[in-house]
């Protein structure tokens, strides 16, 4: 972005970035809509309700391909044939196993983070595994080794998450199986039982649909860290921190909490009206980019309906009534379900506990982070924006040290 580019927003307060150039650049608050770099990985078209991974519809990929296929697409730029898929599985399956240096430390990590859940310990566990492996800063690492580090960390995440969860529940970790795909293996390690094919496929489709999604907060965080030349796992840990927020990856369980709070169809309208009029945020609705239906939500609604049941019926009714009541109370303001609304329903139907909703999101998004980190590592320019200072005028006289 050149120093002469002028960007402004009529709907949000703007901030003035103050680079070395004497001409400040006006940008929207939160950098909304600001193009900060180029990427060949993915794009989100908010007005169309469409997004893609490397030119292929992400939803079509979720409906027709495996997670391993999409993983290869993101890292290497091409979809594999059946032989390539098998070779990739053989390459990544051994990487799922817990490193010997990490295995004895997991019980202590699980105990120390029992109140925070598996995600709160994942960063520490990955950092230990990275140190044991000898992961070096991106700045000092050849591109081929960066890819190997990305495969290592990404393959390990589901194993660490499920091991931490089981330890926190007083159970022993379940060893990964080389014959199961990434998504089925995740459910197997979580429950200790081979999952039903329909449930494994539902989770796989969810993971594919959330692999990447433009320059969201966690992806941008990962890329900022990558621009410093830090090691790949440090970049992933930064992404995890951003993803944990309730306004980002922490929303699926809260969206399901909304359905619990409503309880029955006869309570829908009263509950919605009360919260809309109070100005409360309705979790699972609204998106920073989409101004139409979130295509991920549409796909997940279909998956939920394939399972059926009272919870699904309630969710569909709540979705319809939120849109109708909002149109009545706040004309002109569209609000549609986002990915988190039906994601929580689908994960619940597949047997995942709520404490594992955001960790499951992370298990898929780590693929997208890795691809973005690798792309960013090829750019030698550090990401270093500026801020407008709004504190007291400077310089001020230094007050006397009364204790001197």
Please give the positions annotated as active site: 287, 340
CA distance 217 to 223: 10
In eight-state DSSP terms, residue 32 is T
What is the four-CA torsion angle of 110, 95, 371, 223, rounded to 10 degrees? Answer: 40
Alpha-carbon span 366 to 182, nearest angstrom: 13
Residue for token pair 């998106």: 287
DSSP label at residue 52: E
**Cα–Cα distance between 98 and 374 in angstroms, integer?**
24
400: exposed, middle or buried (Cβ count in 10 Å: 0-12, 13-18, 19+): exposed
- Residue in this structure with the two tokens 């709070």, named with its chain if needed: 261
The candidate with the shortest Cα–Cα distance to 264, out of 338, 301, 317, is 317
Residue-level length of the chain:
404
Nearest C-alpha neighbor of 284 from the set 246, 310, 314, 317: 246
Q: Which two tokens stand for residue 402?
A: 């009364």
The two beta strands, 25-28 and 50-53, are: unpaired
Which tokens is 258 given?
A: 């909304």
Interatomic CA distance for residues 330 and 280, integer angstroms = 13
């Amino acid at each position: 972005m050149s120093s002469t580019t002028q960007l402004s927003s009529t709907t949000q307060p703007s901030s003035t970035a103050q680079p070395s150039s004497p001409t400040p650049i006006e940008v929207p608050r939160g950098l909304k809509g600001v193009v900060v770099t180029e990427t060949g990985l993915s794009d989100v078209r908010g007005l169309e309700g469409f997004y893609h991974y490397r030119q292929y519809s992400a939803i079509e990929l979720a409906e027709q391909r495996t997670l391993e296929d999409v993983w290869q697409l993101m890292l290497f730029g091409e979809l594999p044939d059946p032989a390539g898929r098998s070779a990739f599985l053989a390459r990544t399956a051994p990487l799922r196993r817990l490193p010997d240096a990490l295995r004895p430390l997991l019980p202590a990590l699980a105990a120390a983070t029992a109140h925070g859940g598996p995600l709160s310990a994942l960063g520490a566990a990955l950092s230990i595994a990275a140190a044991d492996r000898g992961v070096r800063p991106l700045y000092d690492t050849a591109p081929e080794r960066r890819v190997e580090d990305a495969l290592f960390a990404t393959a390990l995440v589901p194993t660490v998450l499920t091991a931490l969860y089981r330890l926190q529940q007083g159970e022993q970790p379940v060893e990964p199986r080389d014959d199961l795909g990434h998504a089925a293996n995740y459910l197997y390690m979580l429950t200790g039982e081979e999952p039903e094919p329909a449930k494994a496929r539902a989770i796989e489709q969810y993971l594919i649909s959330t692999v990447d999604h433009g320059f969201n907060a966690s992806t941008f965080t990962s890329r900022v860290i990558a621009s410093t030349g830090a090691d790949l796992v440090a970049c992933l840990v930064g992404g995890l921190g951003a993803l944990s927020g309730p306004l980002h990856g922490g929303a699926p369980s809260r969206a399901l909490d909304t359905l619990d709070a409503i309880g029955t169809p006869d309570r829908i309208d009263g509950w919605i009206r009360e919260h809309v009029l109070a100005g409360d945020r309705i979790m699972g609705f609204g998106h920073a980019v989409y101004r139409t239906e979130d295509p991920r939500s549409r796909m997940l609604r279909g998956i939920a309906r394939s399972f059926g049941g009272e919870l699904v019926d309630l969710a569909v009714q709540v979705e319809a009534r939120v849109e109708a009541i909002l149109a009545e109370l706040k004309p002109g303001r569209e609000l549609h379900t986002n990915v988190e609304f039906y994601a929580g329903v689908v994960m619940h139907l597949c047997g995942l506990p709520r404490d594992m909703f955001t960790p499951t999101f992370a298990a898929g998004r780590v693929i997208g982070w890795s691809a973005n980190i690798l792309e960013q590592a090829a750019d030698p320019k550090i990401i270093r924006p500026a801020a407008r200072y709004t504190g007291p005028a400077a310089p001020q006289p230094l007050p006397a040290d009364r204790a001197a």
